[in-house]
A and B are shown apart, each in its own frame.
Chain A
Amino acid sequence: MALTFAATPRSAAPAGHRRPQSGRRALSRHLTGWAFAGPATLIVVGLSLFPAVWAFFISRAKWNGIAPATQVGWQNYQRLAGDPDMAAAAQHTLLLTALFVPASIVIGILVAIALNQKIRLIGFYRTCIFVPYVASAAATGILAGFVFNPQFGAANEILRNLGIPAQQFLESPGQAMYIICIIALWGEIGFTAVIYLAALQDIPKELIEAARTDGASPWRIFLHVTLPELRPVTVFTAIWQTITALQLFDLIYTTTRGGPLNSTQTVVYYIYELAFQTQRLGYGAAAAYLLFAVTLLLSALVIWYGRRRGTEAF
């Protein structure tokens, strides 16, 4: 015994000695890595992937959160397909997204170009345009209720001075969604403008100079030099703003709460009502899964479109 003990280490010393220690070192390396990355990973994954999987099981049940759930298979999804409220909510959401995303990109670029001028007061202008982004959507909604108040709001006062008849704005089923889109833009343009401003300042000056010495007009420079340079940022902004539009909740909650006549009931708001007002948890979860599928599809489309345009340009 003693011999083997003595012999083994001696003969196998180099390999045998290193292996356990490198194993221990590897273990400590893994542990150190997990000590750094573990807590945040646990929180992020635990608060999103885990509930997302759970939501799928809830979506296949009929459940009010109190009484035991009954498994109904795909029934919630089947009923969603024929639900007129869901169809209306999807339509409102698509309208909002179709208005909000292009508008925030176009206005964001225009505002950024204006803010990129080296003129007096430019710091003041930048501050003004960014301030609404800092205000919460809840407060913005309450403020908008005042500004667009049909009786004594500032918006109708401006229209009156222009000789245009007073409007109902948020109280009109035909106008409310457009007004909400305008309010959302008011709050978000500061963010897109700042992102585009940074991108504009990153465009190499030589590129613009070269085009100018070649005799290109400012419009052609914008079209053929500036815009292509902004493309990666536009892909980022398009995805970011699509998510913002699809998930818009706070603003609707503090302006119309889905009304008038459900005209501003978006999918998100509908899910909130289903789950937390009428306690139809399973049906609400199914609607949420549908929204998730649409979000994924739209983001994939935007990325694909951006890539295709990107490869065409170069």
Chain B
Amino acid sequence: MRRRLPFSPWHLLLMPMALIFVLPLVQMVLTSFMSTAEINQFPPQLLPTSLHLEGYKALLTETPVLRWLANTVLVSAISVVSHLILCSLAGYGFARLKFAGRGLAFMLILATVMIPIQLLMIPTYLMFARAGIVDSLAAAFVPWLASAFGIFLMRQFFLGLPVELEEAARLDGASTLRTFTSVVLPLARPALATLAVFTLLSSWNDLLWPLVAISDDSKFTIQVGLASFQGTRRTEWSQLMAGNVLATMPLIIAFLIAQKKFIATMTFTGLKG
């Protein structure tokens, strides 16, 4: 095998590039298993001498990190499920159903894309305060229940589907909802997968919303927990890296398992379909 394929000069570019992207993450994992003495020695070492679990132990005893992880899982799960249901329904409505105000509603949704999150920080915080959801997990997932991006993505996908299948179902007497759930949705798997991946990434990695709206540390998501922990322990690197591993590894492992599909869904973002 090796002799048949000539060595490509592209490796000289790609190998160092791949290392630049991956080595910091490798160092993150390795450092989380080092002792403080090992981290502070000079010259710095990449490999720990043995598996030190002090960083993880300190993190687990001094912070409710598992609670933060559980909160994040819950927030992400609610965000993804809500996105899949609401955005696919709305996308179908805007693509196929004719109703009064459809054009105006869709225009309004498109217009919201231009509004930056910073403009929304202050009034949204005040809205959450009045609704009484400040300092609750709801403040972390309410902004992710549905999105203009999700509605737009699903609408584009449904517009690309041939309408004949739905017409056949309607002629057989199926209701709009039944046509949607049993004919249209099964065809929409690639678009739904894209939507799920993007929503999972945004809600799991979100820092800003939970940061401004949640100050009770038992309601923190993992990102806010990490950031606040970092504020008090600037130099406890093994603990910080242990926290980083817990915050990033669930998504990274999920990505490594499903990477072919993952990348396919990223490229699906409407640029191809």
Main secondary structure of the interface of B (DSSP, over half): helix
Shortest Cβ gap from B225 to chain A (Å): 10
* Shortest Cβ distance from residue A247 to the other chain B in the assembled complex, whole angstroms: 6
Answer yes or no: A229 CB below 8 A from chain B CBs: no
The answer, among B10, B102, B112, B207, for a CB contact under 8 Å with A44, is: B112
In the complex, identify which listed stretch (A9-17, A72-80, A149-157, A218-226) lies at the interface while the others stay far away. Answer: A149-157
A52 to B119, CA, bound (A): 6
Nearest-neighbour CB distance to chain B for A210, whole angstroms, equals: 23
B133 to chain A, nearest CB (A): 12
Q: Specify which chain B residues have a CB less than 8 angstroms from the CB of A67 in the assembled complex.
A: none
With beta carbons under 8 angstroms apart, the residue of A29, A135, A296 that contacts B251 is A135
Once the chains bind, are A43 and B44 in contact (CB under 8 Å)? no
* Residues of A in contact with B, size category: 35 or more
Are A139 and B226 neighbours in the complex by a CB distance under 8 Å?
yes
A296–B115 Cα distance when bound, in Å, is 9
Question: Would you call the interface of chain A mostly helix, strand, loop, or mixed?
Answer: helix
B252 A135 Cβ-Cβ under 8 A: yes
Q: Are A139 and B244 in contact (CB under 8 A)?
A: yes
B21 touches which of A58, A132, A291 (Cβ 8 Å)? A132
Within 8 A of B (CB), among A173-201: 186, 189-191, 194-195, 197-199
> In this assembly, does A55 line the interface, its C-beta being within 8 Å of a C-beta of chain B?
yes
Partner among A47, A125, A137 whose Cβ is within 8 Å of the Cβ of B120? A47
Chain A residues within an 8 Å CB radius of B119: 51-52, 55, 285, 288-289, 291-292
Interface flag for B66 (CB, 8 Å): no
Q: Which of B52-60, B83-91, B166-174, B185-193 contacts A (4 or more CB under 8 A)?
A: B83-91
Which residues of A, 33-62, contact B by the 8 Å Cβ criterion? Answer: 33-34, 36-41, 43-45, 47-52, 54-55, 58
19 additional contacts (CB under 8 A) given A36-B90, A198-B271: A30-B99, A32-B176, A33-B99, A33-B100, A36-B89, A36-B92, A41-B108, A44-B112, A129-B21, A135-B251, A135-B252, A138-B226, A142-B240, A142-B244, A195-B271, A247-B117, A281-B122, A288-B122, A291-B119
